[in-house]
């Protein structure tokens, strides 16, 4: 089976993506979300089940052509599901092949992480038993597996990305901030679709990924059009243009005149009914260990956010203290500074010093150039 991802008839064998981690990167407006949507279209055309993790409500346009279940609180969602019901929903998606969009636009962050952690763990457990091809598309991947620090789902996402092959799990990591994604996940991906980036740190990430001369990468970035990408799906790098998505682009940028079109969306009533039955009684059946994991995930996220705020405040206070501890002194020429009988320095030309208190000074230690040292107390050796 071939996936029709690119213009010009360039087909991709679906087997080349099964059980693999695919990275789709590029700045906003480079065609990144279109690429992810095209990949989803092709997978759904082949009947492969998947979950789209959507934090910007950009993928509901898929309902124009496909029966999918949209879970969340936004306008186009079919139902809301609690974190306690997430494992049952994951089981339904994998076992029954129900494609699902998880829309987290209106979710509080701690609730989003608690739900997603339980959901992904549910996929992992079910796939360990049935080992059926399954895709997880993770938008804004840097929000879940950041380069610095971690989130309650970082470990699970990394495990699924790097070790999902044996279970039939394929991860698609989508991000507009390639330099902000955990390197261990990004550099060990199996396939790449790399759109245009502009920041030097993102260019450095591309250089570490692409096994081509840096000048080849630079030439592409200087001339890349929307939809063009450096592609590596089968071990060889090439430049290709991703085709336009066929469904409505829900993440389009509104113009000054607004948008007056109409999108006819499918109403998957049967899927909704099946999903309601699947998750309806799960509150009583939840494993106590899973409940503990979910509660701890929420508490961990709150602690991480509080720690981040504290670190930022500490850094701000450190900078203020450093500024407050420095005094700038400027002296005219032909001036001798003397404390008691000690000549601190003799100036023949005008100069300036940073006066910085350093506490007790050791004998014979000279202050750095252009810095006066204030001596406090008596030296311990005296």
Q: Residues 303, 346: one domain?
A: no
> Where is pLDDT greater, at 340 or 178?
178
Give the number of residues written for the chain: 382
Has residue 310 got a pLDDT over 70? Answer: yes
Q: Within a domain: residue 156?
A: yes
pLDDT tens per residue, range 230-269: 999 887 899 999 999 988 766 555 444 444 454 556 667 7
To the nearest 10°, report the CA torsion of 303, 305, 310, 313.
-170
Has residue 365 got a pLDDT over 70? Answer: no
> Where is pLDDT greater, at 377 or 252?
252
7/27 Cα distance (integer angstroms): 21
Least Cα distance to 52 among 11, 93, 103 occurs for 103
* pTM of the complete model: 0.71
Q: Residues 150, 39: one domain?
A: yes
Of the listed ranges 94-108, 150-164, 222-236, 292-306, the one predicted with least confidence: 292-306
Q: Is 239 exposed, middle or buried (0-12, 13-18, 19+ CB in 10 A)?
A: middle
Question: What is the rounded average pLDDT for all residues in the chain?
Answer: 81
Has residue 336 got a pLDDT over 80? Answer: no
Of the listed ranges 73-77, 161-165, 269-273, the one predicted with least confidence: 269-273
Q: Residues 336, 190: one domain?
A: no
Residue 288: CATH number of its domain: 3.40.50.300
Q: Within a domain: residue 320?
A: no
For the record, the structure tokens of 1 come out as 């089976």
Q: Residues 127, 36: one domain?
A: yes
Q: Residues 37, 183: one domain?
A: yes
pLDDT tens per residue, range 36-65: 999 999 999 999 999 999 998 889 889 888
163/161 Cα distance (integer angstroms): 6
Has residue 375 got a pLDDT over 80? Answer: no
Q: Within a domain: residue 321?
A: no
Has residue 376 got a pLDDT over 50? Answer: no
Has residue 284 got a pLDDT over 50? Answer: no
Q: Within a domain: residue 322?
A: no
> Where is pLDDT greater, at 372 or 155?
155
Least Cα distance to 170 among 238, 208, 123, 129 occurs for 123
Q: Residues 171, 81: one domain?
A: yes
Phi and psi of 330, rounded to 5°?
A: -120, 135
Q: Within a domain: residue 75?
A: yes
What's the number of CA atoms in the CB half-sphere (13 Å) around residue 119? Answer: 25
68/73 Cα distance (integer angstroms): 16
Could you tell me if 37 and 59 are in contact, meaning their C-beta atoms sit under 8 angstroms apart?
yes
What's the number of CA atoms in the CB half-sphere (13 Å) around residue 372? Answer: 21
Q: Residues 45, 123: one domain?
A: yes
Owning domain of residue 357: 327-374
Q: Residues 191, 51: one domain?
A: yes
Structurally, the chain folds into a number of domains equal to 2
Task: Report the sign of the C-alpha dihedral through residues 142, 145, 147, 150, in that order.
Answer: positive
Could you tell me if 142 and 181 are in contact, meaning their C-beta atoms sit under 8 angstroms apart?
yes
173/370 Cα distance (integer angstroms): 52
Q: Within a domain: residue 313?
A: no
Has residue 382 got a pLDDT over 60? Answer: no
> Where is pLDDT greater, at 271 or 183?
183
- In this predicted structure, what is the pLDDT of residue 288? 52
For the record, the structure tokens of 378 come out as 């008596």
Q: Within a domain: residue 180?
A: yes
Percent of the chain having pLDDT more than 70? 74
Q: Within a domain: residue 315?
A: no
Q: Residues 148, 183: one domain?
A: yes
Q: Residues 213, 248: one domain?
A: yes
Mean pLDDT, range 321-328, rounded to an integer = 74
pLDDT tens per residue, range 80-91: 888 889 999 999
What's CA 282's distance to the chain center, in Å? 31
Q: Residues 220, 340: one domain?
A: no
- In this predicted structure, what is the pLDDT of residue 355? 55
Has residue 277 got a pLDDT over 60? Answer: yes
- In this predicted structure, what is the pLDDT of residue 73? 82
Q: Residues 137, 21: one domain?
A: yes
Query: Which 3 state secondary structure label does DSSP give 339?
Result: strand
- In this predicted structure, what is the pLDDT of residue 254? 45
- In this predicted structure, what is the pLDDT of residue 293? 65
Mean pLDDT, range 285-299, rounded to an integer = 58
> Where is pLDDT greater, at 160 or 341?
160
Could you tell me if 116 and 153 are in contact, meaning their C-beta atoms sit under 8 angstroms apart?
yes
């Amino acid at each position: 089976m071939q996936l029709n991802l690119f213009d010009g008839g360039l087909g991709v064998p679906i087997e080349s993506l099964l059980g693999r981690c695919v990275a789709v990167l590029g700045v906003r407006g480079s065609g990144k979300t279109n690429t992810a949507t095209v990949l989803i279209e092709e997978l759904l055309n082949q009947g492969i089940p998947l979950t789209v993790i959507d934090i910007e409500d950009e993928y509901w346009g898929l309902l124009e052509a496909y029966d999918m279940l949209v879970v969340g609180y936004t306008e186009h969602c079919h139902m809301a599901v609690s974190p306690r019901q997430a494992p049952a929903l994951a089981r339904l998606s994998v076992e029954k092949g129900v494609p699902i969009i998880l829309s987290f636009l209106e979710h509080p962050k701690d609730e989003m992480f608690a739900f997603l952690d339980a959901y992904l763990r549910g996929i992992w457990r079910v796939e360990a038993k049935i080992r059926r091809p399954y895709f997880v598309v993770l938008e804004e991947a840097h929000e879940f597996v950041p380069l610095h620090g971690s989130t309650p789902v970082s470990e699970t996402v990394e495990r699924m990305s790097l070790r999902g092959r044996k279970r039939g799990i394929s991860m698609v990591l989508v991000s507009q901030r390639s330099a902000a994604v955990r390197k261990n996940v990004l550099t060990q991906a199996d396939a790449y679709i790399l759109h245009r980036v502009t920041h030097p740190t993102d260019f450095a990430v591309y250089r570490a990924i692409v096994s081509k001369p840096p000048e080849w990468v630079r030439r592409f970035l200087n001339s890349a059009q929307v939809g063009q990408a450096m592609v590596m799906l089968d071990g060889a790098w090439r430049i290709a243009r991703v085709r336009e998505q066929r469904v409505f682009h829900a993440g389009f940028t509104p113009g000054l005149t607004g948008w007056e079109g109409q999108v006819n969306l499918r109403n998957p009533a049967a899927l909704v009914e099946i999903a309601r039955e699947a998750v309806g009684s799960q509150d009583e059946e939840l494993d106590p260990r899973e409940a503990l994991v979910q509660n701890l995930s929420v508490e961990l996220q709150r602690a991480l956010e509080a720690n981040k705020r504290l670190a930022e405040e500490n850094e701000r206070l450190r900078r203020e203290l450093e500024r407050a501890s420095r005094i700038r002194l400027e002296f005219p020429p032909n001036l001798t500074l003397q404390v008691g009988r000690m000549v601190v320095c003799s100036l023949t030309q005008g100069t300036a010093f940073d006066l910085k208190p350093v506490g007790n000074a050791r004998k014979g230690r000279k202050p750095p150039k252009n810095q006066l040292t204030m001596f406090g107390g008596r030296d311990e050796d005296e």
